[in-house]
Structure 1
Amino acid sequence: MRPTRRTVLTATAAAGTAALASAGAAEAAPQGGRPPATAQHPSRELRELLREMDPARVEATVRRLVSFGTRHTLSVQDDPARGIGAARDWLLSELRSYAAVSGGRMTAELQSYIQEPASRIPVATKITNVVATLRGSVTPERVYVVSGHYDSRVTDVMDATSDAPGADDDASGVAVVLELARVMAKRRTAATIVFAAAAGEEQGLYGSTHLAEQLKAAGADVQGMFTNDIVGSSTADDGTKDPYTVRLFAEGVPTSETPEQAAIRRSVGGENDSATRQLARFVRDVADNDATGMHVRMIYRRDRYLRGGDHIPFLERAWPAARFTEPAEDFAHQHQDVRVEDGKQYGDLPRFCDFGYITRVARVNAAALWTLAQAPGTPTGAKILTSALTNSTQLVWTRGTEPDLAGYEIVWRETTAPEWTHVIPAGDVTAFEVDLSKDNVFFGVRAVNTKGLRSPVAFPLPQS
C-alpha cells in the first residue's frame, strides 16, 4: 500500500534526523554551520589516510618545482636542470617511485603529443602530461581525475626564458596531486583514480584537453574531475587571511548541453542541479568537517572572469568537473612570487605559499576522491515520471553493477534551498513513489553500499 503524505513527511523528518546523526552532526563544520542532511561522517580509514598528508613533502615539492627556474610550455625541454623538460622528468620519477610500492595497482607514464602552431603556440611544440593511474579493483571502468598544471609563466605569456617560478600558480596544485598519489598508491580503491600534472595550461588548456580526449577515446566513464589551480595561499592582496577556506567553482547549466537540453533543465528548475553541482555538494558532504579542518565554499560559476582552468575540457565532454582555488587571489604575486639565480631561490616563498594550507586542500581532495572511489557510482537513468497528473512523485533509475551495492536513498529539498534537507531510505529497488508533489520540491537519487558510503546525487529529469 502506498504511504500517505503524512507518513512520508514523518518518515522523512525521522530519516533526515538519522542521517544527520550518522553524518556526525554533533561535529560542527569549521565555520560553525550544521552539516547538510546528506553529510557523510569520515570513517576511521579515511581519517588515517588524511593524517598521512605531510606538509614537509608538500613544501619539498613546491620548492623543487620552483628550482627549475621556468616551466613555461615553450621553454627548453632537454636541459637536465632548467625548463619544463627538467620538471617533467622529475615529476615522472616521483610518480614512478610511488607506483613502485603500489603492488602493481599504479602505473606512471608520460602522455605526449605535438601541438601544431595555434593560439599562444608559435611553433610546433611537444606538450607532455605526467600521469599516474591507480587502477580500481572492483569497477575499474569508473574513473575519477585530479590534476594540477606544472607549466608556469610570467606576466608576458609568450616569455619562455625569464624566470617563472610559479610557486602558487601552479606548483601548489601539483604538490596536492603528488601527495594524493603518494598516499593512495599504498591503498586499494574500488574505482580508478587518475593523477595528472598537466602542461600547456597557461597557453590555452592544451595538456588537459589532450588528457580528456585520450580518456574519451578509451571509453572511460569519468564520473568526476577536480583541478587544483592556485591553491597555495590563504592571504589576500590586502593582507587578510582565510586559512581554513577553499573555493570550489562548479557550473550550473552544463557547458556541454545543447540549447534544447538547457531549455528542458530550465523548465523543471534544474539550473542548480547539474552533475557538477551535485559533485560539489558531495565534496561538501564528505570534506567540510573536522577531519580536513577546512570549509569548502561553493562558487556557483564555471570559473573566474577572463580566466579558465583544466576542468573546462572535461566539462566540454559532458563530464562533471570542478576547480579548487584559494579563497582570494593576490594578482601582484601570482606570476612573480620568487626568482631563481644560480640555482638559489630569492624572495619570500612562505609568504606566497602556506604549506599547511596546501596540505589541508590536499585533505579536502583526498576525502572527496577516496569516498568517490570507494562508494557506488552516481545512479544512471534517473527520471521523474510525468505521464500522470498527480500530487505524488514517481522516480525510476537504473540499478548499478557494484557487488557491494546495498540500495538507494531519495533526497529532497525546497526549491529555494541550496542543500538537500531530507533523506528517505528507498531500499534495493529501481522505482520509488513519494507522496510529495514534484511541483513543489526538488528530488534526487543516490546509491549506498554495504559500508554505508553514499554516491553523489543524480538529479532526475522528466520522462513522460
Structure 2
Amino acid sequence: MKKMLFLFLSGCFVQHTIAQQIIERDVEIEQMVKEVSPDSLKNYIKTMVAFGTRNTLSTQTDNRRGIGAARKWVLNKFTEFAKKSNGRLVAFIDTTTLSPDGKRVDSVLLLGNVVATLKGTDSADKRIFIISGHLDNMRTNVLDRTGDAPGANDDGSGCAAVLECARIMCKHSFSATIIFVTVSGEEQGLLGAYFMANKLKAQHLNIEAVLNNDIMGSNNSSETNIINNTQVRVFSEGLPFYNLEKNASTIRQLGLENDGISRQLARYVKEIGERYVDNLQVVMVYRNDRFLRGGDHTPYVENGFAAVRITEMNENYTRQHQDVRKENGIEYGDILEHIDFEYLRKNTALNLCNLANLSKAPAMPEAVKIDVKRLGNTTNLNWHAPKTGKVKGYYIMMRETTSAFWQKKFFTPQLQIILPYSKDNYFFAVQAVGENGNESLPVIPEVSR
C-alpha cells in the first residue's frame, strides 16, 4: 500500500513538473486587438466633445447639445453596431427619476444609462461581464449645466473604449453575455452606476467582472510633467467591502487580506492585458480607487461583485473639472488636443482582450478545496467541474505569500492535484481552461477537513 501511494505521488510530481508551459495568444482575440482603431476612438471623442456639455443636469430636449443628445447618439452607435451582430446586440436607455438631494442634484432629474447587451451563445451560461465608462462630465462647478465642458478625457476616453469594444466584439460569438454601458451621474455622486449595480443585484444576476474605465487617454501629468504612455493603472480592493464582517475571521486565519475577488480580477487583467497588448505594462494599485476618491466600479464592489478601475498612469489636474481657459501660460480644460490616441488604443485593447478571454473561457471551477486532514509538505487540492463551458483542463496557480502576482501555473486535466509545495509557504488558486486555452477567473480554495 505504501509503495502504491509513493508511486501515485511520484506520478503527480512528474506530471506537473513537465506540465508547466508557455501560454500562447488566442488567434481570434489577437485579431480583435489589432482591429482597435485610434481613428475610431478619435471620432467618438470628437463627437462627444461637440455636444458642448454632457453635464448630467444639462438639457435633454436639445438634439445637438447636452446629455440628452449625447445619450441618443451613443444609443444610435450601439444600434448601428447591432446590425452586424446577428441579432445578439440589443441596446436601450435605462432611466430612473431622482429627486433633488441638496448637494449635486438641484432639480428633479431623469437619469439615463445607455446599455447594450451582447447575448452569450450558451443559454446555460449565466455569466455577465461589464465594461463601463461615464458619459457625463463637468466644469469647475458641478451644477453648471450650461457652460461648455468638453470632457474629452474625463470620461470621453472611457466611453470611446466602451464603444470601440462593442463595435469589434459584436461581430464575434462568446459563451457568456457582455454588457457595454455608458452611465450618467458619475460627477453627481456615481448615480448611474449605483442605479445599475443595485438593479443587477436585486435581479440576482451573475455579474462576474466589471471593468470601469475613467480618465484613460492622456499621457502626461501636471506638476511633475511626467510623460508615460507605456503604463496604465488598475485599482482594486483586497479586503471585500461586501460581507466583510461575516468573512473577516476566515480572511485573517488564512492570510487572505490580499485576495478579494476584485484583487483577483486585477491580477487577471494584468496577465491577460500584457499577454495581448504590446508595449503596455499594467500597474496594479492596492486600493479601491485613487486616494480618498471614487469611481463607478465602487457601487459594484459594494454589492459584492468583482470590479476594478482602469485609469491612465499620470493624471493631469489642470484638465479635470476645469473651465476651458488659459492662465499664466497654462491651458486649463479637458480638450481633444490633450488625448494620446495611440495610448488610448492600447488601453482599449486591454479591456477588449480581457472581456474576450473571460467570455470565451469556461465558468470558474466549483467547490475548490484544499485538504488539511493531515500535516505535510505537499498540498492536496480538489474541485468540481464548472457549470458551463467545454473544459480542456485546469491551471493551478501558485505564488509566495509575499508576491503580488501568481508566479507559477501547473496544468492538469484531472479534478485534483497533489503538489510538492507546502501550503504554509504559498497561496494557491484554480482556473478552468477552455479548449482554446482561455482561462476563467481564479478561485481561492476553501478548507476541507
2:245 aligns with one of 259, 262, 268: 259
CA apart distance, 1:333: 0.9
Alignment-derived partner of residue 305 in structure 1: 291
Q: Distance in 2 between matches of 1:347 and 1:258?
A: 40
Q: Does 1:181 align with 2:166?
A: yes
Change (3 A) 1:150 1:277: same
Q: Distance in 2 between matches of 1:209 and 1:271?
A: 26
Q: Does 1:420 align with 2:424?
A: no
Alignment-derived partner of residue 319 in structure 1: 305
Change (3 A) 1:198 1:441: same
Contact kept? 2:125, 2:388, Cα under 8 Å: no
Q: Distance in 2 between matches of 1:245 and 1:337?
A: 28
CA apart distance, 1:435: 4.0
Alignment-derived partner of residue 15 in structure 1: 19
1:261-340 equivalences in 2 (<5 Å)? 261-289=247-275, 291-336=277-322, 338=324
CA apart distance, 1:347: 7.8
Deviation sequence 1:137-156 (CA, Å, 0-9, x none): 02541100000000001122
CA apart distance, 1:393: 2.7
TM-score scaled to structure 1, two decimals? 0.88
1:335-350 equivalences in 2 (<5 Å)? 335-336=321-322, 338=324, 349-350=335-336
Alignment-derived partner of residue 187 in structure 2: 202
Alignment-derived partner of residue 65 in structure 1: 48
CA apart distance, 1:82: 1.1
Alignment-derived partner of residue 435 in structure 2: 450
Q: Distance in 2 between matches of 1:153 and 1:290?
A: 34
Alignment-derived partner of residue 74 in structure 2: 91
CA apart distance, 1:398: 3.1
CA apart distance, 1:348: 8.8
Alignment-derived partner of residue 342 in structure 1: none
CA apart distance, 1:6: 7.4
Q: Does 1:44 align with 2:27?
A: yes
Contact kept? 2:41, 2:341, Cα under 8 Å: yes
Q: Distance in 2 between matches of 1:234 and 1:252?
A: 27
CA apart distance, 1:160: 1.9
Change (3 A) 1:338 1:359: farther
User: Which amino acid letter does the alignment assign opposite residue 104 of structure 2?
Assistant: R
Contact kept? 1:289, 1:295, Cα under 8 Å: no
CA apart distance, 1:103: 0.4
Q: Distance in 2 between matches of 1:224 and 1:142?
A: 9
TM-score scaled to structure 2, two decimals? 0.91
Q: Distance in 2 between matches of 1:66 and 1:215?
A: 30
Give the percent of matched residue pairs that are identical in Structure 1 and Structure 2.
38
Q: Distance in 1 between matches of 2:391 and 2:323?
A: 48
Contact kept? 2:49, 2:150, Cα under 8 Å: yes
Q: State which drifts further: 401-410 or 441-450.
A: 401-410
Q: Distance in 2 between matches of 1:162 and 1:202?
A: 16
Q: 3-state SS of the aligned residue for 1:447?
A: strand
Q: Does 1:234 align with 2:238?
A: no
Q: Does 1:121 align with 2:125?
A: no
CA apart distance, 1:331: 0.6
CA apart distance, 1:311: 0.6
Change (3 A) 1:235 1:304: same
Contact kept? 2:138, 2:144, Cα under 8 Å: yes
Deviation sequence 1:38-71 (CA, Å, 0-9, x none): xxx3222112111111111100111111111111
Q: Structure 1, unaligned stretches of length 5 or more? A: 24-40, 340-345
CA apart distance, 1:8: 5.8
CA apart distance, 1:260: 3.6
Contact kept? 2:364, 2:443, Cα under 8 Å: yes
The Cα RMSD (Å) is 2.2
CA apart distance, 1:83: 0.9
Q: Does 1:410 align with 2:396?
A: yes
Q: Distance in 1 between matches of 2:383 and 2:347?
A: 34
